[in-house]
Amino acid sequence: MRSDAPELDWPFIQEMFDHNGWPSNLRQKCGAISFAESSQFHRFNVGLHSFWKDNKSRQHHALVDARSLLFAWKFAIRRGVQ
């Protein structure tokens, strides 16, 4: 699992699954979103900004935030983009 703020998100997720049981397909660790190249990190931020500009949805709603991070991640790792 990856998060843009693991120190904030992970304790809640861990508490929920510790209480209710962990799904077999979910890794019990969380890391920060990171990239090998600084250009990918820059594109991630551009993608994130673009998502919120185009979607004007409620920020900090868990599902919408997850969609924004997925969009930005895909934008950052696209090949052939400078």
pLDDT in tens, 11-30: 998 999 999 999 999 889 88
- Here the tokens at position 62 are 């868990």
pTM beyond 0.85: the answer is: no
Spans in the chain with pLDDT lower than 50: none
**Rounded distance between C-alpha atoms, residue 75 and residue 50, angstroms:** 10
- The helices-and-strands tally (H runs, E runs) of the chain is 3, 2
How many Å apart are CA 7 and CA 26, to the nearest integer?
18
Q: In whole numbers, what is the pLDDT of the chain averaged over residues?
A: 86
Q: Which uninterrupted H or E stretch holds 41? A: helix 38-55
Are 72 and 45 spatial neighbours (Cβ–Cβ below 8 Å)?
yes
Nearest-angstrom CA–CA distance, 25 and 35: 24
